[in-house]
Amino acid sequence: MAIRGIICGAGSTGTHLHYGALIAAGADIVAFVDINEEMAKKASKQYGLNSYYTSIEEALQNEKNIDFVDICTSSATHLSIAKVSLEHGCNVLVEKPVTETIEEIEELRKLKERYSKVVCAVHNHKFYPSVREVRNMIKSGEIGDIISINKEMSFNWEDPGMMEEDHWAQGIPGGRLFEANPHNLYIIYSLIGKFELVDIFPRKVSSHWVHAKVDEFQAIFKTDKTTINLKMSMHSTKESYGKYGPNFFVVVGTKKSVLFDYANVVELNDFSGSIKRNIKVKNKFTSEEKYPIIKDKNGDECNIGVDSGHKWIIDKFIGNLEGRYTEEAVSFGEAFFVQAMNSKMGNLVEAKLARQ
């Protein structure tokens, strides 16, 4: 029998990014839940489901034999929905940011231990073929010891997304940038493991997004061998980098240095020819892999999350529940480290702003 789940949160993530990836992985989705009844109803109708609910409690009282709850709501609500789901004996798939505060992620850890269920953070970008390629190069020793990692993630100023004044992402400690920052942190973690925060320098550079707390930060992290620089901002231009803005890593090792983004891996050289080699990876835009056409219960084709990376993480989550994969897709240790670090950075930004 297929693994049965409920999607909680019928916004764009629960519908467009998750539903088809879950079906492609072999799961059976029985209902959508959304506190906004219209959203829950619309999503269930869109995919041909019979049921929708306005609370997770109501859904779990009515639907039996549910294996997992997929949490795609605003981050401040993740812990309470995860708690109810675990209390009902369900495994949990939860979008990033997994929680908003360090206290919440600590409570989630205790709940996971008490109920002994899978709690899997959606760390989707680390499964892109290019990111997996660099991880493998590091693991095999090809890159050597990692001396430094530099990451730039800058949104296009015209449309960073989630910038409405009352959008829930503005309320995350540190503001909107910390909704997306987990992507940076879990990719770095997946390359080198744990690291510590040295300092963070938040700035308000542009007057464009008047209500943004900060629109740029530079953070420095370290391990005993590696220094990491991370820059996030929201004032890049379409002309300079295209629709979404710069989003790339440079990893300098003792044997090799590579630049990678979500589609390419390039081995770097000194200025005698700064690109030494273009490392061929299947990428999300020109993949050689053939993906299945997945149809919903209305018979309409649905997105399976190749572009966003949800395809791979969700397949691994469902596969782990089914026993196809022995390892959890994302360990709770990783989820805990990443969220605690994201909150720590956001708190430091808030503290620095309060002193200004």
DSSP secondary structure of 237-266: -HHHH-SS--EEEEEEESS-EEEE-SS-EE
Nearer to ligand NAD, 75 or 233 (CB): 75
Q: One-letter amino acid identity for 142? A: E
Least spacing, CB of residue 349 vs ligand NAD, in Å = 18
Rounded distance, CA 85 to CA 322, Å?
A: 19
Least spacing, CB of residue 167 vs ligand NAD, in Å = 8
Nearer to ligand NAD, 130 or 257 (CB): 130
Nearer to ligand NAD, 31 or 138 (CB): 31
Which 3 state secondary structure label does DSSP give 351? helix
Rounded distance, CA 336 to CA 353, Å?
A: 26
Least spacing, CB of residue 272 vs ligand NAD, in Å = 39
H or E element, residue 152: strand 146-156
Nearer to ligand NAD, 123 or 253 (CB): 123
Nearest Cα to Cα of residue 6 among 75, 89, 76:
89
Nearer to ligand NAD, 86 or 138 (CB): 86
State the CB neighbour count (10 A cutoff) for residue 345. 25
118, 197 Cβ separation under 8 angstroms: no
Least spacing, CB of residue 125 vs ligand NAD, in Å = 7
Least spacing, CB of residue 261 vs ligand NAD, in Å = 15
Instruction: Output the residue with the shortest Cβ distance to ligand NAD.
Output: 11
User: Where on the chain is the footprint of ligand NAD (CB under 6 A)?
Assistant: 8-13, 33-36, 39, 72-75, 77, 81, 95-96, 122, 124, 179, 308
State the CB neighbour count (10 A cutoff) for residue 136. 11
